[in-house]
């Protein structure tokens, strides 16, 4: 008869005695596993603990891949936005999101957390890979779901499980990953203007206008996607703003994140205590070179 694991440890919500945990380890090694095994997860332990406190548990590592072609020649220096690259990126992202949702659905998950978004744009293709952990509701002793919110299809959330737990406790729930992107050619400066401007301090208004336009377009797109999925906001937006590495006259502006929505009646503030750690982490001296 395998030893009784349930008799160890308290059921009140206070910290379990460390010694008891050591005992469980010894006994557990020699007992059979309970419950359905074979779950996989890329969440850390701390995140799993926090997830349990909001009624969810990990099921499986899921991923989705989207690869879409880009016509040759779109990167040649011309003017205006590179719409082909923009469309290819969105198509690739949609394909990836659809794949990961299918995997999550097959695992009977309520959503996917900690989604890591990898975007690789090369000369003739856009590749988007999304990886995360599908989660489902825990059931309590009576067989009821502890996570009370139901979703029509699995949500996708690029926030960590820890951020998810804290945000949902405050009343906000994730809906979907949304993104806005803009690829734009930098304007060319005519030679005459170039020489004329060489000694002046002056704003280059056509450059400013072009890049501004590109960024605004991407942020506008992000906002419209948030509304489309029914969200009211977005936190922790990731912004990537850089020249495209293989075509440096094209600037890429990408912004993405998770659309969220308030489901509780009002925002619940967490109780916050202040602490002073005595860990000597204060930076009192730093030497930097002037190079």
Contact 124, 70 (CB under 8 A): yes
Q: What CA–CA distances, in Å, run from 209 to 68, 73, 135, 139?
A: 30, 25, 44, 55
Q: Is 177 in the site for another protein (CB under 8 A)?
A: no
From candidates 115, 129, 156, 175, binder to another protein by CB under 8 A: 129
Which residue number, 138 or 149, has a Cβ lying nearer to another protein? 138
From candidates 81, 87, 102, 229, binder to another protein by CB under 8 A: 87
Encoded one letter per residue, x for contact with another protein by CB under 8 A and - for no contact, window 249-288 reads x-x-----x---------x-xxxxxxxxxxx-xxx----x
Name the strand (E) or helix (H) holding 50: helix 45-53
Encoded one letter per residue, x for contact with another protein by CB under 8 A and - for no contact, window 4-23 reads -xx--xxxxxxxx-xx-xxx
Encoded one letter per residue, x for contact with another protein by CB under 8 A and - for no contact, window 90-109 reads -x---x---x----------
Which residue number, 145 or 241, has a Cβ lying nearer to another protein? 241
> Least distance (Å) from another protein to the CB of residue 144?
14
- CA 256 – CA 180 distance, rounded (Å): 6
Q: Is 142 in the site for another protein (CB under 8 A)?
A: no
Tokens 């880009």 -> residue: 70
111-122 and 155-156 as β-strands: parallel, antiparallel, unpaired?
Answer: parallel
From candidates 108, 227, 240, 264, binder to another protein by CB under 8 A: 227
Residue 144, Cβ density class (10 Å: 0-12 exposed, 13-18 middle, ≥19 buried): exposed
Q: What CA–CA distances, in Å, run from 104 to 59, 95, 161, 186, 279?
A: 9, 14, 16, 41, 42
- CA 278 – CA 273 distance, rounded (Å): 16
> Least distance (Å) from another protein to the CB of residue 239?
6
Contacts with another protein by CB under 8 A: the residue count is 132
For residue 241, give both structure tokens: 């703003």
> Least distance (Å) from another protein to the CB of residue 6?
6
Q: Where does this chain touch another protein (CB under 8 A) — which range of 57-65, 105-113, 147-155?
A: 57-65
Q: Is 150 in the site for another protein (CB under 8 A)?
A: no
Longest dimension (CA), the chain: 91
From candidates 78, 108, 123, 246, binder to another protein by CB under 8 A: 123
Which residues, numbered 195-224, are part of the site for another protein (CB under 8 A)? 197-204, 207-209, 211-213, 215-217, 219-220, 222-224
- CA 86 – CA 105 distance, rounded (Å): 28
3-state secondary structure of 265: coil
Which residue number, 151 or 227, has a Cβ lying nearer to another protein? 227
């Amino acid at each position: 008869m395998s030893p009784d694991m349930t008799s160890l440890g308290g059921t009140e919500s206070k910290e379990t005695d460390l010694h008891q945990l050591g005992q469980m380890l010894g006994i557990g090694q020699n007992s059979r596993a309970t419950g359905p095994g074979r779950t996989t997860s890329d969440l850390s332990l701390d995140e799993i603990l926090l997830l349990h406190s909001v009624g969810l548990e990990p099921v499986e590592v899921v991923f989705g891949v989207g690869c879409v072609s880009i016509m040759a020649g779109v990167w040649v220096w011309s003017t205006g936005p590179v719409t082909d690259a923009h469309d290819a990126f969105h198509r690739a992202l949609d394909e990836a999101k659809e794949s990961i949702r299918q995997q999550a659905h097959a695992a009977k998950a309520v959503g996917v957390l900690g989604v890591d978004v990898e975007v690789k744009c090369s000369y003739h293709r856009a590749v988007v890979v999304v990886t995360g952990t599908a989660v489902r509701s825990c059931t309590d002793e009576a067989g009821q779901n502890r996570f009370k919110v139901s979703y029509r299809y699995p949500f996708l959330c690029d926030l960590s499980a820890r951020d998810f737990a804290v945000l949902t406790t405050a009343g906000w729930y994730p809906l979907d990953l949304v993104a806005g992107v803009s690829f734009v050619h930098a304007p060319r400066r005519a030679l005459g203007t170039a020489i004329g401007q060489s000694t002046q301090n002056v704003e280059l208004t056509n450059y400013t206008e072009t890049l501004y336009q590109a960024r605004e377009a991407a942020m506008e797109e992000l906002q419209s996607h948030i509304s489309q999925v029914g969200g009211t906001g977005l936190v922790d937006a990731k912004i990537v703003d850089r020249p495209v590495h293989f075509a440096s006259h094209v600037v890429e502006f990408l912004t993405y994140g998770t659309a969220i929505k308030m489901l509780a009646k009002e925002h619940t503030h967490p109780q916050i205590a202040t602490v002073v750690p005595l860990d000597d982490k204060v930076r009192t001296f730093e030497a930097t070179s002037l190079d």
